[in-house]
Amino acid sequence: MSIIGVGIDVAEIERFGASLERTPGMAERLFLESELLLPSGERRGVASLAARFAAKEAVAKALGAPSGLRWTDAEVWVEESGQPRLRVTGTVAARAADLGVQGFHVSLSHDAGVASAVVVAEG
């Protein structure tokens, strides 16, 4: 396996939360319902959503930042162990296939008012 691309992104949590409040429907345009909810069914917090948004930006960067990628074609989900994973479909899966990507690694973090994500595309 080799590294095809690496992406990193950060999101200021307070600013991201304000954008979600100011723009009705924004969360539904960026995230799948499964990303918006915790396993308990409660709504996911802003810091967690900001980290997922950063991951989606990082995915795009790892794929060369082409235009036309749909936000909801990259889904961040979490294994029972707590390890985040990426599931790609549609436009994101097509771009990944064009580049020979076999899988992704993702790391999420949030602290001191900033959410961050790193994505490695491997082929």
Give the pLDDT confidence of 62-78 residue by residue, as tens digits. 999 989 999 999 999 99
Q: Is 111 annotated as a binding residue?
A: no
Question: Roughly how many angstroms between the first and final C-alpha of the chain, as a whole number?
Answer: 5
User: Strands 114-122 and 84-88: what pairing?
Assistant: unpaired
- Cα–Cα distance between 62 and 78 in angstroms, integer? 20
pTM of the full structure? 0.94
Contact in structure between 29 and 70 (CB atoms under 8 Å): no
**pLDDT for the residue 94:** 97
For 109-113, the CB contacts below 8 A with 24+ separation are 109/51, 110/13, 110/47, 110/48, 110/50, 110/51, 113/12, 113/13, 113/14
Q: Mean pLDDT over all residues of the chain?
A: 96
Q: Is 57 annotated as a binding residue?
A: yes
Between helix 46-62 and helix 13-22 the angle, nearest 10°, is 100
- Cα–Cα distance between 96 and 110 in angstroms, integer? 27
- Kindly indicate the confidence band of residue 34, based on its pLDDT and cuts at 50, 70 and 90: very high
